[in-house]
Amino acid sequence: MADKLEVKRRGFFGAVAAGAAGAAATAIPTARAADAPAPSAASAPPSAAHTAAESAPPPPLAAREMTLVPKAGSDFMVDVMKTLPVDYITMMPGSTFRGFHESIINYGGNKAPEMLTCLHEEVAVGMGHGYFKVAGKPLAALIHGVVGVQHGSMAIYNAYADRVPVIVMIGNTLALEERRPGVEWTHSAQDNNALLRDFTKWDDMPASLPHFAESTVRGWRIAMTPPFAPVAITVDGELAENAIKDEPASIPKLSRLSAPVGDPAAVAEAAKMLANAQSPVILVDRLVRSQEGMANLVALAEALGAPVIDKGGRMNFPSRHPLNGSTRGGALLREADVVIGIEVWDLWGAVNTYRDVIHRSSSPIMKPGAKLISISAGELLMKPNLQDFQRYQGADLAIAGDGETTMPMLLDAVKRALPKSDIYADRAKKHGEAWTASYNQLRQAATYAWDASPISVARLCMEVYAQVKNDDWALTTPMGFQSNWQTKLWDFKKHYQHIGDSGGSGVGYSPVSSAGAALAHRDAGGRLPVAIMGDGELMCAPTMLWTLAHHKLPLLLVVHNNRAYHQEVMHVQRMAARHGRPTERAVIGTTMNDPNIDFAKLAASMGVQSFGPIEDPAQLGPVLKQAAALVRAGQPVLVDVVSQPR
């Protein structure tokens, strides 16, 4: 039947071709000129003037634009950027910074910084978020005027709330007489940074080239001094496009400030409290930025024989270390007599628990008389409007200082304060046995619904890990929406293997930060970055797929496709139950079906190799094996997995 159908198709297309040829052969003879109807104005060929108008460059808007500028202000701006350790500048093109753009790619040779093209300002800024948490240094994000600020503001807020530095550079034309007519007015502002001032660490609007040089160098230093955060520098269009009037200004020397460290006397007191404790617990969150920082934390835990509860803001502690107490957090805190929280974003939430989810009353987890120590630089940067600092938690000893910088001092003080005793080794052995029991329980729990379709989230996570575990892999996405199966069962050993959460919980963080993390991992060489992100997250910034393909950023992107904003489904269900109404209708306004999104086709349309949707769990492993091989070869790859909610 198929063969006959193919013959019929061939015959059909052959007949069409023959008919076309016959029609050409029997075309109506050309009429004489006298008999031909006069052509209408619409069908008349274009005149020379029309052709020139359509193809010639647009006329200059002002005579000054016809003046040759051999050395523009934007060239000097590029000179300034080249003095900073900023390798990349991300941007979506815009007219407000056109001079700076041209100088970067021509005068600066598109190197240090290299320009990366994004299709939305949220992608441009968000790449800087993920990039810093892997590379340990910021990139610059160039955004277009008022509209670019608004597009990029979500990513800027996430970076601020997560205490991550990004050098945000904003195009603007301040002088009204210099603005081109029309849209440039609606894209300019008297104070572009006003929109961002609540969630940037510092900003400035330079009015001269010397001012630009000082502000940019100062801005980098401020952003890179803990607590880190984005800064915003305006790039004035006229200052950039016009010729340098006088001799180029000098560029100030970059001198990095040392990080704030805890008071030595207070650190010594904390060490004594820990050394004399019977059941100490170490609580960490946004602490570790380097492998040295992780090694110091491991050494502290082993010296004390104390378990570490890793709250997940960064990859702080090896997941399979026998002193990892993250899965037993509540029980450990109830037994503790001394708890030290180091760079914990929500210390109040960590040591209190909600008893009533409706009225939000709380009770302390820690037992009466237990002592609480805090080391953090968090309170050195707080703004009055945005409530990203959580509830106030008193401590018996609160030390202001950057946690990672203070850690070596604390470790030395603890070692000096520890008495000679076997208690610490015995304590560590007990916690190691508890960790092994918890790990085995989790492995068993992961097998539930192993062969189900939609695919279970535990199987999704473990099938991914099976394909990358022998690589130098790194997870670029948060784990909460996958019930933290990764941190429960994957073997995290290196600080860059998990870069933590978004900070501001702004949906859309995962795709944009993953693109930046993929860039940093590519530059590090030999790593295999992995992203497991929700379908709703990806649809907030799908254009990052094009940036991955265009700039050849390898990334294994696995879509946890539950076809819903499942957290919001649960919120509406909870409200329906509270209001005494059916929960079935909670799917209205929260689900992403009818039609289902085909993520594989979406990725393919932007040049990313893709697979799926995968619904059969037996197919998942073989597909992921193919995908991982392509990523090792230097490609970004998307795998769409239809999966259970969490």
Q: What is the pLDDT of residue 62?
A: 55
Do 212 and 289 lie in a common domain?
no
Question: What's the pTM?
Answer: 0.87
Q: What is the pLDDT of residue 185?
A: 75
CA distances from 124 to 142, 168, 236, 511, 641 (A): 8, 10, 20, 11, 27
Do 452 and 594 lie in a common domain?
yes
**What would the two tokens of residue 525 be?**
């060489």
**What would the two tokens of residue 279 be?**
């059941």
Domain-embedded: residue 131: yes
Q: Is 527 helix (H, G, I), strand (E, B) or coil?
A: strand
CA distances from 437 to 213, 333, 443, 508, 639 (A): 58, 18, 10, 36, 34
Do 410 and 319 lie in a common domain?
yes
**What would the two tokens of residue 444 be?**
């068993």
Do 462 and 573 lie in a common domain?
yes
Distance CA 362, CA 372 (A): 18
Q: Give me the torsion for CA of 183, 187, 191, 194, rounded to 10°.
A: 140
Q: What is the pLDDT of residue 359?
A: 52
Domain-embedded: residue 451: yes
Q: What is the pLDDT of residue 421?
A: 79
Distance CA 16, CA 20 (A): 6
Do 516 and 617 lie in a common domain?
yes
Domain-embedded: residue 31: no
Q: What is the pLDDT of residue 39?
A: 47
Distance CA 219, CA 201 (A): 9
Taking the alpha carbons at both ends of the chain, their separation in whole angstroms is 46
Do 502 and 547 lie in a common domain?
yes
Do 161 and 282 lie in a common domain?
no
Residues 364/356, Cβ–Cβ less than 8 Å = no
Domain count, the chain: 3
Domain-embedded: residue 56: no
User: What pLDDT, in 10s, does the model give residues 108-156?
Assistant: 999 999 999 999 999 999 999 999 999 999 999 999 988 999 999 999 9
Q: What is the pLDDT of residue 188?
A: 78
Q: Which residues of the chain have pLDDT under 70?
A: 1-47, 49-66, 247-248, 354-362
Sign of CA dihedral 507, 513, 515, 518: negative
Question: Does an H or E element contain 406, and which?
Answer: helix 403-417
Q: Is 399 helix (H, G, I), strand (E, B) or coil?
A: strand
CATH of the domain at 335: 3.40.50.1220
Q: What is the pLDDT of residue 319?
A: 95
Domain-embedded: residue 234: yes
CA distances from 514 to 13, 457, 520 (A): 48, 20, 10
- Identify the CA nearest to 408 among candidates 281, 262, 536, 507: 262
User: What pLDDT, in 10s, does the model give residues 318-361?
Assistant: 999 999 999 998 899 999 999 999 999 999 989 987 655 455 56
User: Which one-letter DSSP state was computed for residue 404?
Assistant: H
Do 359 and 464 lie in a common domain?
no
- Looking up tokens 């006959």 gives 4
Q: Which residues of 572-597 are buried (b: 16+ CB within 10 A; e: fewer)?
A: bbeeeeeeeeeeeebeeebebeeeeb
CATH of the domain at 493: 3.40.50.970
Do 546 and 634 lie in a common domain?
yes
Do 525 and 549 lie in a common domain?
yes
Do 366 and 464 lie in a common domain?
no
Domain-embedded: residue 460: yes
Do 417 and 492 lie in a common domain?
no
**What would the two tokens of residue 445 be?**
């729990």
**What would the two tokens of residue 125 be?**
């800024």
Domain-embedded: residue 29: no
Q: What is the pLDDT of residue 51?
A: 63
Domain-embedded: residue 16: no
Full domain range(s) for residue 487: 447-642
